[in-house]
Chains A and B, each alone.
Chain A
């Protein structure tokens, strides 16, 4: 895959806090794919999402979008950031209505009132939240809040959707709803999705490709089928079989 073919490409990305948390020689993400990012706690999964989202600058290395180096500050960074969205592990909905939460990113992009209505209404309907449009977001249940957070993130049609454990602490019914939302929205909008999950079964269910990260390094990356049935690395096999000791 050439730099131009990849939506996002990372080269020699390193990040260190008190110890090295990320050291990625090369990673390319294709357009329209769903990536499952798996690995034990502290593997660097969230840091990787933050670096891709340009929220955290890497210590060294380069990041490319459509083959063009990503600016790390200024207006150009904001322009690029507006092409992607990140849903955090701990969802924070603003103390406002569901509608205004979903409209937030559109307002940030100066969409008109009419355009916002045309986007938010159908989206809330699509995620089954239209009846709660005028409810205060801080009164929603965990599953509802996560649905609103994802709707808010996709409202402005990002090219890249980054999800950090979007179904953590949810019941099976809500997990199913969220998974269907993610796969449906990704297919329909040709969005690239990178989803961090600790649930390998979930990664197998919804990801086209799986990235296995451990101690800041990519141990293995490949199609979900290959990673779960015939991985190249023994470490990967142990992890997906739930037998990895760390």
Chain B
């Protein structure tokens, strides 16, 4: 049987047998990427909304910086964070290197510009009309902002889905700052790299399939939220 076929069988065997090592890797991946996407959302959505509501000519430089950071190579982000939190770095005293926290920081660094940038584009495309309609109906600043976020929810959820896709599949940054330590910082992507290097292609393929399945489930959930709305109170 081909390695791909064996890999698929191995993947299902691991899933059905609820392999402890595999579950640990899966849950750690979900915990790290889940927390990272939540933090990135809390930073990126308000930032993107704020920028989207401002006149474009006032935010040109920030826009360019955000669009640049959207394409940051993960290894570069990982290297910078490594230099900041390594023992010799300015934040070395915090002892974050090779911990899940360091991996979350790295993933937040990668996802936040994506969420902020895409939210900004979504808000800007709707911005003026929604803001003026809300104001003409007597909405204060808080309600105006909430309304624009609600009206841009398709774009914002698209931004979150894109950000999640980026970090759950990312390997360079988490490898550098996490160190791929078994039971502590080994996530699916770093495990795939390790198993491939060791020649365990079946396990690597199996992990790849599980990664895709998880990504499908999470994205389906977000997609359903994105399509929702319109119910009355």
Whether the Cβ atoms of A81 and B138 lie closer than 8 Å is yes
Closest to B141 in A: A78
- Give the number of residues in B that approach A within 8 Å (Cβ atoms): 21
Whether the Cβ atoms of B135 and A156 lie closer than 8 Å is no
How many angstroms between the C-alpha atoms of A153 and B137 in the bound complex?
A: 7
Closest to B143 in A: A108
From the candidates A108, A136, A138, name the one contacting B138 in the complex (CB within 8 A).
A108
Closest to A113 in B: B233
- Using known A-B contacts A94-B151, A104-B137, A108-B140, determine if residue A136 contacts B230 with beta carbons closer than 8 Å: yes
Give 1 or 0 for each of A132-172: 1 = CB within 8 Å of chain B CB: 01101110000000000000110010000000000000000
Whether the Cβ atoms of A88 and B140 lie closer than 8 Å is no
Residues of A within 8 A of B130 (CB): 92, 94
Closest to A78 in B: B140
User: Counting CB contacts under 8 A, is B147 at the interface?
Assistant: yes
User: Counting CB contacts under 8 A, is B200 at the interface?
Assistant: no
- Using known A-B contacts A55-B132, A88-B133, A100-B232, determine if residue A94 contacts B147 with beta carbons closer than 8 Å: yes
User: Counting CB contacts under 8 A, is B129 at the interface?
Assistant: yes
How many angstroms between the C-alpha atoms of A78 and B136 in the bound complex?
A: 10
- Using known A-B contacts A100-B233, A134-B232, determine if residue A85 contacts B137 with beta carbons closer than 8 Å: yes
Whether the Cβ atoms of A109 and B138 lie closer than 8 Å is yes
User: Counting CB contacts under 8 A, is A236 at the interface?
Assistant: no
User: Counting CB contacts under 8 A, is A223 at the interface?
Assistant: no
Chain A interface helix/strand/loop/mixed: mixed
User: Counting CB contacts under 8 A, is B21 at the interface?
Assistant: no
User: Counting CB contacts under 8 A, is A99 at the interface?
Assistant: yes
The residues in B between 191 and 233 inclusive whose CB is less than 8 angstroms from any CB of A are: 229-233
Total A-B Cβ pairs within 8 A: 73
Residues of B within 8 A of A156 (CB): 137-138
Residues of B within 8 A of A138 (CB): 230
How many angstroms between the C-alpha atoms of A104 and B136 in the bound complex?
A: 11
Whether the Cβ atoms of A108 and B139 lie closer than 8 Å is yes
User: Counting CB contacts under 8 A, is A215 at the interface?
Assistant: no
How many angstroms between the C-alpha atoms of A105 and B231 in the bound complex?
A: 18
How many angstroms between the C-alpha atoms of A53 and B132 in the bound complex?
A: 10
User: Counting CB contacts under 8 A, is B150 at the interface?
Assistant: yes
- Return A36 CB to nearest CB of chain B, in Å: 20
Residue among B138, B147, B150, B233 having the largest count of chain A Cβ atoms under 10 Å:
B138
How many angstroms between the C-alpha atoms of A152 and B139 in the bound complex?
A: 13
User: Counting CB contacts under 8 A, is A173 at the interface?
Assistant: no
Closest to B133 in A: A92
Whether the Cβ atoms of B136 and A53 lie closer than 8 Å is yes
Closest to B142 in A: A108
How many angstroms between the C-alpha atoms of A94 and B138 in the bound complex?
A: 15
Residues of B within 8 A of A96 (CB): 150, 229-230, 232
User: Counting CB contacts under 8 A, is A97 at the interface?
Assistant: yes
Closest to A91 in B: B133
- Return B136 CB to nearest CB of chain A, in Å: 4
- Return B134 CB to nearest CB of chain A, in Å: 8
A-B contact pairs, 15 of them (CB 8 A): A55-B135, A85-B137, A88-B132, A88-B136, A94-B133, A94-B147, A94-B151, A95-B151, A95-B230, A96-B150, A107-B143, A108-B139, A133-B232, A136-B230, A137-B230
| Chain A to chain B: the 4 pairs with minimum beta-carbon distance, closest first | A136-B230, A82-B138, A97-B232, A86-B136
